[in-house]
Every structure is written in C-alpha cells, then in structure tokens.
C-alpha cells in the first residue's frame, strides 16, 4: 500500500517517525507527523523535513496510537506535517531490529534517527514508493526464475536437487565443540582455536543445523578481502540455499537487493562485514563473528559502534547463540570467557581447539637477534634480511616451496630525506610524512591522500641527492629480487590490490605456485589458506612493542601469530615449517610467548598489567574528540566541555572512579588541514559512565554551538575507543 487511506473514523492520527539527523542537529528522538491511518512500527515512509522529503522509519511512541490531529498543536507547539507516502511492499522492520538500533544509538551516544537510517541501504533512502515497487517486482521475477540458488555475485550453479557435498571427518575437538554448542543453547561462545584447527568447519556444521531448522544465519568477517573465499566455501557447502553478501564492495543495487531478501526472509545465510550486524532477519537462528579480535569490527567515524559487541547484544535480544571465533581473542572477550574463579567475568562459554587438523604442527618460531647478526663489511650494502634468513628462503625456493615476508608498511620508503639541510617529505596538510612510491615516482600522504611528483632536488636547498629512508613493501620486494636472483616474487598490499579483481588475481597466482616469495602487509596475514608456504618472516616488528597505545602489544601478538598460521597448513610440509622474527629485542616477553604459542600466558600478563593500570576490561573508557580550524580551537572546546560538566562528575559515586583527563592532541594531530584533539573519560563502572555521557550530551551540544564561532568544526563521543 502506497497511498494513505483515511482511518475508519474519518480522522487522522499522529505517528512517530525517526529521520536521519546528526547528533548536533537537535533532532535526537522521534518526530511527530500526521497520517490518515495508524501504521505499524518499523514501516518505511517518506516525510517532509524542512524543504526536503526524506525517508524515515515509523517508531514506537507512548501515546501516538491514541493521539489525533486535535492533540497535535497542543503537544507539539506547532502545526504538524502529514506523511508524504508509505514505502509499501516491504514488511515492517522487526521489533528486535528496532531494539538493537535503539540500544546502539543510546550506548554509542548517537541520535536515534541517525543510527536507524545509517544502517539502511543508501539506495533505499533515495527511492520513492513507485521506484521501490519497481525494484521489488524485478527482484520477485529474478527469484521466480531461480527458485533455489545463490543470490550473491558468486553463483553456485545449484540445481533443483543439489548434490550434498562430502563432509570432512570431524576431529575430536571439533566434535566436542559442536556438542557443547548443542548442549548450552543460546549462549555467547568464544571459539578459541589455533590457525588451521578447523574453526570454519564448526561454523558451517552449526549453521547447517540452524538452516535445517528453518532459521537464518548471519556470518560476519572483518574485511572485504576475506569475504570472497569464505563466500565460495559457504556456497559450496550450502548449494541450493540462498546466500547473500553485504559489504561495501557491492554496488548500491546489489546491496539493496541482498538486504531486501534478508528482510523478507528469502535469504537463508547472510555473509557480511561489520554493518551486516544490523541486517533485519525475521528468522535469525545463529550469529557467527569470525576473527572477533579484529579492529575492523569497530567503526572509526560517524556512529563509532563495535559490530562484535552488538552481535553479542543482538544474540541475547533474539535468544540465539553467537560464536566468536579467533586464534588470538581480544582480551575483552578472553576476560569474558574466563571463569569468575580465575579472575574473569564468566559471561561466555569457552570452546578450545588447540590442535591443527590432520595432525599438522604450527611452524617453529625462530627469533633472529639483530644485535648478534653478522654486519656487512665496509663497502657492502645492508641486506634486506639477515643472511641466515635469506639463506633459509633461498633453500625453500630451491625445494619448490613458498615463503611469506611480512612488513606492515606499504610504499617504497616512509620518507625522503635531504642529508644536506635535513628536509623531509612532510605532508603540507597533515602532521605526517608523505610516503615515497617508486613505481609511479610520487610522494603520497596515507592520511589525506595528497599526492605529488617526487622533486628533482631538495625543495629547500636544491641538493639533488635526496634519499629514501626506511623500507616499505615496494622497496623490500625490489631488494629481495636482487638478493634472490631467479626467485619469482609477488606483492600484496593496498597499492597493488586497489583495482577491482587485483587481490583475487594475486591470490590465485600464489595458490597456483607461480610465486616463490610473497611480500605483503597485514592483508596476507589472516584468513588465507596457503598450502605451499613453509616459511614466514616478520621484518621490523619491534615498533609496536613501545607504542603509547595500550592495545599495541595485543594487536602485534595477534598479527604475528596469524602470520605464523599461514605456514605449514599442509601436513606434508608442516614438520619443517618455520616462523622467523627479525628483531632487536629477542628477549621481550611478547616474543617469548609467541615462540611457545602460549596465548594464555601472554593474555594473563597483559590482563595483569591492565588491571594495575585501570584499563579495559577493568575500566570503561570514552573519548571526547574535537576537530577545529586550529589546535587551540579544538582544545578550547574540550577544556570548556570538561569544565561545564564538573557538577556531573562530582555527583558520580566515589567508587566509580569517574575521571576526565586533560585535553591533548591526537597521535596524528593534523589531517587534511584539520586539527584534532581528544579528552579521555574513564570510569570503573560502565553504567556510571553511560549515565554521565547521557547527562553531558545536552550540555556539550549547547556548548558546541558557541564554539563554532571560534573555529570548532565538529565533535563526537567515542565509546569504548580502540585507540587512545
């Protein structure tokens, strides 16, 4: 139904609608509109907002169902506008979806309308009723032509009676995990399994049970580049089921189509990245969050939500199990899975799978102490890797095996430098260096994207001998090609794979055995099943050991262990697989724990340090962030914001430890000519922090209006920030 028919009583009713409006707009809640008939909550409508007509969602209000047009002027204080049209053809968004959105908006301090409309497909927000009806008719025709099959961009070629694939035999630990999943029911589960232990098979078996029961499954991955390979495996296993993907790599039309199929219950399994946690699924029976530790699950701008945490909340809301899988769980999840008797929270059920499938072994970790390595003699160039490591890679090439060299820094060199006057290739718009990319002879800022040709001489003194300093993946690939003549090299990083299909082509080349030595960033360290790699080397991993971010060590351990997991995945070569770490700090506890693959010891040490420092998971944090035309403007707002809520801080219970720290510049202070600063808020009690933020928001909204005249550009609250 698109037209608005009058109610049987002949009058009109007042309904509540949420529309997309940012936090600073003041339109924080449900807006009132007039409608000839009451509409069920969750209905999509088009309503006037100022001079525009926008998409909105009908929302619950306490008295909207009883209110009439005569009540409206008295309650609203102005003349209400009528709803323009109903976007018919789609069922109302489910009540649990609305509860999830409402919780996310409240917890992450965003307006209800902003959160609700942000998670809808962008194209849906642009369509009127007629356009939407046309889209739905095309979708119905497509589904009628393919009654069973894959609706994703990677069709399975399923027939009406698809062949059931032969299932691999379960290991004892996989069988035990599945049994526990069946016995414990709708619980949050942490599936802690080593790389290659068969976590994906556990996901697929449990998903099969949900599908057989007539339920839908939501399976989440952290990044787009992990989606195609898992999508292919899921499509092969569930041939004949409708499988859709939801991620930013889809066209707007594909995304709308897949989302619509999920809402209408036509999609059996949804495979997506972080935004897919908001996919409306009327028959949801299972949520899987693969690589749950990955920071990509946290949105870093706009509504800064954690998809992993919302997945846990949604599972509880809908009464379904959620499986969080990782070889290196986040310390928050690990703490939640530890029994209370062991100092944990006891909120999750832990499933343990320490052994690789087929009896394979994790590669032996070798710590290459650079302080004891052989130094080049006078006149010799510094080799790209230590001589012992180069020799080990050469031996692999000789045997027809593959090696992976990990350097988490793209480009040729981090900076160009003039030895005469000290000039460096800084970005004119950011407080960061422009990275030298030799392939196209450019200096590029990886923060704002500003790019320029490499100067022929130093811009300051005219010296023509300006040199690259440091090493990125582009330079490492070049140096390895010189050091290993005859070896076939490949590289995977954001520069090589920025064009559509480039990543898939590079991965296919590696799988086909056409690459002897693969150089890459963290893109190649997780999720990929390289069967021929027997050696992984980490170059220059020490920077994270001494970073100011308290999560740096946790992330580095996860990255290195995930990288190690790329080696020895084939049982035939597992016995002589190795992980080399070229370091100046071989005795560091992180490397010692990694050498023994002792995540439990590493996690225990990290949790002890965090408890002593009062950091998550033993405290809750929020970051008040500000951007201004000058650093002074950004910090002035933050300082005024802290001063304006001192009464609220004083009202907090003493045991909550509510603290507002001084405002400081962000680690990268200026990006695209915008100065950035932040103020950390800490509390030992999450509920106290939430109450404080709720009370502080209106104060900060009013304050921001005053400071915009003084150079404040924007501000935001980041709850549970990943970086401080």
Q: How far apart are CA 150 and CA 159, in angstroms?
A: 10
**Cα dist from 84 to 33, 44, 81, 331, 460, whole Å:** 10, 11, 9, 49, 62
- For 352-364, how does the pLDDT look when each residue is reduced to its tens digit (9 = 90+)? 999 988 777 889 9
The better pLDDT of the pair 163, 567 is held by 567
Percent of the chain with pLDDT over 70: 90
Tokens of 89: 């053809």
Q: In degrees rounded to 5, what are phi and psi of residue 537?
A: -125, 130
Q: Using pLDDT thresholds of 50, 70 and 90, give the confidence band for residue 273.
A: very high
Closest Cα to residue 404, out of 505, 530, 544?
530
pLDDT at 595 over 60: yes
Q: How far apart are CA 71 and CA 73, in angstroms?
A: 6
pLDDT of residue 66: 44
pLDDT at 75 over 60: no
Q: Using pLDDT thresholds of 50, 70 and 90, give the confidence band for residue 4.
A: low
Average pLDDT over residues 408-424: 93
Interacting residues of 354 by C-beta distance below 8 A, sequence separation 6+: 173, 193, 194, 197
pLDDT of residue 560: 95
Closest Cα to residue 642, out of 592, 688, 703?
703
**Cα dist from 710 to 53, 635, 644, 665, 674, whole Å:** 33, 11, 17, 18, 14
Q: How far apart are CA 267 and CA 258, in angstroms?
A: 8
Dihedral of CA 260/262/267/271: which sign? positive
Asked if 688 contacts 694 with a C-beta cutoff of 8 angstroms, the reply is no
Closest Cα to residue 292, out of 234, 221, 226?
221
620-719 CATH: 3.30.70.360
Q: How far apart are CA 180 and CA 388, in angstroms?
A: 46
Give me the residue label for tokens 């130093």.
Answer: 458
- Tell me the fold of 146-358: Rossmann fold (3.40.50)
pLDDT at 152 over 70: no
pLDDT at 616 over 80: yes
Q: Classify residue 346 as left (phi > 0), alpha (psi -120 to 50) or beta.
A: left
Closest Cα to residue 244, out of 308, 225, 264?
264
Tokens of 134: 């046309």
- For 189-229, how does the pLDDT look when each residue is reduced to its tens digit (9 = 90+)? 999 999 889 999 999 999 999 999 999 999 999 987 777 77
pLDDT at 26 over 70: no
pLDDT at 76 over 60: no
Compute the mean pLDDT over every residue in the chain, rounded to the nearest whole number. Answer: 89
- Judged by average pLDDT, the poorest of 136-145, 341-350, 437-446 is 136-145
List the beta bridge partners of residue 451: 444
Q: Which CATH number fits domain 13-94+103-120: 3.60.15.10, 3.90.1150.10, 3.40.1440.60, 1.10.3720.10?
A: 3.40.1440.60
Interacting residues of 604 by C-beta distance below 8 A, sequence separation 6+: none
Tokens of 554: 């946790």
pLDDT of residue 22: 66
Q: How far apart are CA 116 and CA 127, in angstroms?
A: 17
pLDDT of residue 347: 96
pLDDT of residue 504: 83
pLDDT of residue 8: 47
Q: Tell me how crowded residue 324 is: count the other CB atoms within 10 A of its CB.
A: 29
Q: How far apart are CA 298 and CA 303, in angstroms?
A: 10
- For 632-657, how does the pLDDT look when each residue is reduced to its tens digit (9 = 90+)? 999 999 999 999 999 999 999 988 89
Q: Which CATH number fits domain 364-375+382-410+472-610: 3.40.50.300, 3.40.309.10, 1.10.3720.10, 3.30.499.10?
A: 3.40.50.300
Is 364-375+382-410+472-610 in the same CATH topology as 146-358?
yes
Percent of the chain with pLDDT over 90: 73
pLDDT at 576 over 90: no
Q: Are strands 52-59 and 13-19 parallel, antiparallel or unpaired?
A: antiparallel
pLDDT of residue 25: 55
Q: Where are the domains of the chain?
A: 13-94+103-120, 146-358, 364-375+382-410+472-610, 412-470, 620-719
Q: How far apart are CA 96 and CA 41, in angstroms?
A: 11
């Amino acid at each position: 139904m698109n037209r608005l028919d009058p109610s049987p009583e002949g009058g009109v009713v007042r309904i509540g609608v949420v529309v997309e409006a940012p936090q600073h707009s003041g339109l924080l809640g449900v807006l009132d509109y007039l409608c000839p008939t009451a509409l069920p909550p969750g209905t999509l409508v088009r309503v006037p907002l100022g001079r525009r007509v926008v998409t909105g969602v009908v929302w619950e209000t306490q008295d909207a169902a009883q209110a009439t047009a005569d009540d409206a002027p008295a309650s609203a204080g102005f003349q209400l506008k009528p709803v323009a049209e109903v976007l018919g053809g789609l069922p109302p968004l489910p009540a649990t979806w609305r509860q999830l959105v409402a919780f996310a908006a409240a917890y992450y301090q965003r307006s209800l309308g902003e959160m609700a409309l942000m998670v809808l497909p962008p194209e849906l927000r642009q369509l009127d009723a007629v356009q939407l009806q046309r889209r739905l008719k095309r979708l119905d025709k497509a589904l009628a032509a393919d009654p069973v099959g894959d609706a994703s961009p990677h069709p399975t070629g399923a027939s009406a009676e698809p062949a059931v694939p032969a299932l691999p035999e379960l290991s004892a630990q996989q069988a035990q995990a599945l049994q526990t999943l069946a016995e414990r029911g709708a619980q949050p589960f942490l599936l802690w399994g080593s790389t290659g232990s068969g976590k994906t098979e556990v996901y697929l078996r449990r998903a099969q049970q949900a599908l057989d029961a007539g339920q839908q499954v939501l399976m989440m991955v952290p990044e787009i580049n992990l989606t195609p390979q898992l999508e292919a495996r899921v499509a092969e296993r569930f041939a004949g089921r409708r499988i859709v993907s939801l991620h930013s790599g889809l066209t707007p039309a594909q995304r709308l189509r897949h989302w619509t199929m999920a809402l209408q219950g036509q999609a059996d399994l949804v495979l997506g990245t972080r935004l897919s946690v908001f996919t409306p699924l009327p028959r949801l029976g299972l949520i899987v969050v693969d690589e749950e530790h990955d920071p990509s699950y946290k949105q870093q701008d706009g509504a800064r939500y954690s998809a992993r945490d919302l997945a846990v909340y949604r599972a509880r809301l809908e009464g379904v199990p959620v499986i969080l899988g990782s070889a290196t769980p986040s310390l928050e999840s690990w703490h939640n899975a530890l029994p209370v008797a062991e100092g944990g929270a006891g909120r999750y059920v832990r499933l343990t799978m320490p052994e690789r499938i087929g009896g394979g072994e994790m590669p032996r970790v070798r710590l290459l102490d650079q302080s004891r390595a052989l130094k080049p003699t006078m006149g010799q160039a510094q080799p790209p890797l230590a001589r012992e490591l180069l020799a080990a890679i050469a031996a692999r090439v000789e045997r027809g095996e593959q090696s992976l060299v990990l350097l988490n820094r793209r480009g040729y060199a981090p900076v160009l430098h003039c030895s005469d006057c000290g000039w460096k290739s800084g970005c004119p718009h950011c407080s960061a260096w422009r990275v030298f990319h030799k392939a196209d002879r450019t200096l590029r800022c990886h923060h704002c994207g500003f790019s320029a040709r490499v100067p022929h001489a130093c811009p300051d003194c005219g010296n023509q001998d300006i040199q690259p300093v440091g090493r990125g993946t582009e330079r490492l690939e070049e140096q390895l090609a010189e050091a290993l003549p005859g070896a076939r090299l490949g590289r995977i990083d954001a520069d090589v794979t920025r064009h559509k299909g480039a990543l898939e082509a590079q991965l296919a080349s590696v799988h086909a055995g056409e690459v002897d030595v693969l150089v890459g960033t963290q893109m190649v360290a997780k999720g990929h099943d390289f069967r021929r790699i027997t050696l992984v080397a980490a170059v220059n991993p020490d920077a994270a050991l001494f970073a100011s971010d308290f999560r740096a060590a946790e992330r580095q351990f996860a990255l290195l262990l995930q990288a190690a997991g790329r080696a020895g995945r084939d049982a035939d070569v597992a016995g002589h697989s190795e992980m080399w770490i070229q370091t100046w700090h071989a005795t560091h506890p992180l490397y010692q724990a990694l050498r023994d693959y002792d995540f439990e010891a590493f996690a225990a040490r990290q949790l002890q340090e965090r408890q002593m420092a009062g950091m998550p998971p033993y405290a809750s944090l929020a970051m008040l962030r500000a951007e201004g035309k000058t650093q002074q403007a950004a910090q002035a707002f933050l300082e005024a914001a802290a001063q304006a809520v001192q009464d609220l801080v004083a009202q907090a219970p003493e045991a909550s430890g509510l603290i507002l720290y001084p405002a400081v510049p962000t680690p990268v202070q200026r990006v695209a000519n915008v100065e950035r600063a932040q103020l950390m808020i800490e509390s030992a009690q999450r509920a106290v922090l939430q109450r404080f933020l709720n009370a502080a928001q209106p104060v900060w909204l009013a304050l921001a209006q005053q400071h915009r005249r003084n150079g404040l550009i924007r501000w935001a609250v980041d709850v549970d920030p990943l970086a401080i």
